Amino acid sequence: VIVISHPCFDTSPGGWVRIPPDTKRREERVGWMVDWYFKRVSFTISWAGIDPPLYGFHRTLSDYLQVFKDNGFLLTDIKEPCITDQGKRELPGHIVRHQFRVPWSIIFRLHKPEVHKK
């Protein structure tokens, strides 16, 4: 099982499109912009309290699937998780609404068939 940030939505300079552009109001987010999806890049993420920064690499869905195939894996299932019922009850409303708009991660279940040698 492999879990990654969803490559269709984890692109730079992606992000929320707001009207007007300078608004900070969550209600004025009209969609998520995806740009440069096919650009294969490395990046760093700095989160408060986490040191050193995290490193990531953007690749396309096709890149991932090709690597699985080239290494003898079969894709047996794929999921784009959404917020759970518990999350809907316990998280603030703006976070719940945010989670229904874009799948932030993707899960691949892979199987590598046994190879029998003669």
The pTM assigned to this predicted structure is: 0.76
* Whether residue 12 has pLDDT greater than 80: no
* Percentage of the chain lying above the pLDDT 90 cut: 37
- Cα separation, 38 vs 63, in Å, equals 10
Q: What is the pLDDT of residues 32-89, one digit of tens each?
A: 788 888 989 888 888 778 888 888 888 999 999 999 999 999 999 999 999 899 999 9
* Whether residue 11 has pLDDT greater than 80: no
Average model confidence (pLDDT) across the chain = 87
When pLDDT is averaged across residues 91-117 and rounded to a whole number, the result is 87
Say which CATH class 2-111 falls into.
alpha beta
In this structure, the number of other CB atoms found within 10 A of the CB of residue 106 comes to 20
- Let me know: does 74 contact 109? Beta carbons within 8 Å: no
* Whether residue 118 has pLDDT greater than 70: no
